[in-house]
Structures are given as structure tokens and as C-alpha cells.
A and B are shown apart, each in its own frame.
Chain A
């Protein structure tokens, strides 16, 4: 069988750790399969999905997109700052990414509360089953992303990543970008397209 080497080629390098990228690819596969199942089920019954979609708060979800994008942006800035040995700046940008996650989580919880308050559950119909599950599953990933960002922030305070050793930071920010990328597909899929 073929063997995988953990060293990257000298010119082109993997951002962060290869093991994390395997994890990211596996996560993308999970979400990809879920999205396509949504698409196929919706294809079978467009009327049900269009009706369900009119009850969603697309504006609120757009805010959440902006939060995740902003968090991704500050994550890029954090990695750059740490690479240029500007640890204070890097630290602030990591906090900003974490804070954008907090905004996402609070906003999303309010949205969930609104739907559950109206009596929608996983058993309501296929649309709500998919909507609630997909967004909740993604929601858990945002929380995991925040945990990873927080862990890197703590390690930064402890004096890791000196001498521009940014692999650990890039490992964390790569995960965050993955969570963002998934949401970028999920947002138009459940809220916008008809």
C-alpha cells in the first residue's frame, strides 16, 4: 500500500498539521454527504421545503455568516501577526475570532429558541428534520472551533510559537476556516435557495 509522509515538500507546504487536514477532509466528507442528502430529499418534495423555508429568519442567519467570515479574517491576521513575532497583536486577533464565535452561538441559540418555541421539532417534517439537525450539527462545530482557538490562545500566553513557529496556530485556524466554509454552503442552501 502507499505510504503517507508527514513532511511536506519544501516549496509548497501544508498549513498546519497534516493530521488536522485529514480530520478536516473527513469533516468535509460528513457535511458533503449531509448536504447532498438534503438536496435529494428536497428534490423529491420541493413544495414542502419551500413552505418550511418561509418560516426561517434569513436576516439573522446572514448576520451569522458575517460573524464567521469576520472570525476567519481575524484568524488569518492572527497567524500572520504571530509569524511576524507580533504576539500581542496575534493574541488580540485570536480573541476577536473567539468573540465572533460567541456572537454566532448567541445569535444561533436565539434562532433555535424561536423555532422550538413555535413548536417545530425534528419530527415535524423532513424539512425541519434536516434544518434543525444540519444547523445544530454545524453549531457544535463552531463550539469545537472556539475550543481549539482558545487552546491556541492559552498556549500563546504560555510562550509557545516563539521564533515564528506558526504551525500550531495554522492548525487551529484551518479548522476554523473549515467551519466557515461549511457554513458558506449551508447558509444559501437552507435559507435562500428556492
Chain B
């Protein structure tokens, strides 16, 4: 468990810093949108599957929370596209 856990934690930190720098690196708005969508989705999925541990939870719960993340990010993506 330990190694995997620290990788996930490191990934969350790294993705946060990448997201912070993204507006400077990606000047084209659509690239920025894609970049932030990917980092946010990855971070959210790590929290849901690993930290919340929903990977080992009944499907209805896992997919409700995952569905929430995808639905919210998808709708926001449309709003910012």
C-alpha cells in the first residue's frame, strides 16, 4: 500500500503545481481548458478511488461519486469551451 499511496500523494501535489503554472505555459485558451480538465479529473479520480477508497466500495456509490465528478467537469467544460 505504502509505495502506491506516496505515488498518489506526489501526483496530487505535482498536478496542483502544474495546474498553477498552466495559465502561463498555455496561452491558447482551449489548451488551457484541456490541461486543467485533465489535471483536475486525474486529481479528483485519485481522491475518489484511492483516498476515499471507493474502488473497493459497492458500484452504485463508486459510480455516483465518479459520475458527479465527470458530470460537473463536463458541464463546466461546455460553459468554458
Do A and B belong to a common assembly?
yes
Residues of A within 8 A of B (CB): 8-9, 12-15, 21, 24-25, 28-29, 32, 35-36, 39-40, 42-43, 58-59, 62, 65-66, 69-70, 72-73, 75-77, 80, 170, 174, 177-178, 180-181, 184-185, 187-189, 192-194
Residues of B within 8 A of A (CB): 1, 5, 9, 12-13, 16-17, 19-20, 22-23, 29, 32-33, 36, 39-40, 43-44, 47-48, 50-54, 56-59, 61, 64-65, 68-69, 71-73, 75-76, 78-80
- Known contacts A12-B58, A188-B19; A39/B5 CB under 8 A: no
Point out the residues of chain A lying under 8 angstroms from B29, CB to CB.
194
Task: Determine how close the nearest CB of chain B comes to the CB of A22; give it in whole angstroms.
Answer: 10
Question: Can you list 15 contacts pairing A with B, beta carbon distance less than 8 Å?
Answer: A14-B58, A15-B56, A25-B65, A35-B76, A62-B16, A69-B13, A70-B9, A181-B52, A185-B44, A185-B72, A188-B19, A192-B20, A192-B23, A193-B80, A194-B32
A39 touches B79 (CB 8 A): yes
Given contacts A13-B58, A14-B61, 15 further A-B contacts (CB under 8 A): A14-B58, A15-B54, A25-B64, A25-B65, A28-B68, A32-B68, A36-B76, A65-B16, A73-B5, A76-B5, A80-B1, A181-B52, A189-B76, A192-B19, A192-B23
What separation, in Å, do the CA atoms of A92 and B35 have in the docked complex? 36
Among A21, A28, A185, the one with the most B-chain Cβ atoms within 10 Å of its Cβ is A185
Task: Determine how close the nearest CB of chain B comes to the CB of A96; give it in whole angstroms.
Answer: 13
- Known contacts A184-B43, A184-B44; A15/B53 CB under 8 A: yes
Point out the residues of chain A lying under 8 angstroms from B5, CB to CB.
73, 76-77
B80 touches A184 (CB 8 A): no
Inter-chain contact total with CB atoms closer than 8 Å:
114
What separation, in Å, do the CA atoms of A192 and B23 have in the docked complex? 7
A35 touches B72 (CB 8 A): yes
What separation, in Å, do the CA atoms of A77 and B50 have in the docked complex? 12
- Of chain B, the residue at the smallest CB distance from A15 is B53
Given B23, B47, B75, B80, which contacts A181 in the complex, CB threshold below 8 Å? B47
A15 touches B57 (CB 8 A): yes
Point out the residues of chain B lying under 8 angstroms from A184, CB to CB.
40, 43-44, 47
What separation, in Å, do the CA atoms of A76 and B51 have in the docked complex? 6
Point out the residues of chain B lying under 8 angstroms from A21, CB to CB.
61
Point out the residues of chain B lying under 8 angstroms from A76, CB to CB.
5, 50-51
- Known contacts A8-B58, A28-B65; A39/B76 CB under 8 A: yes
A40 touches B16 (CB 8 A): no
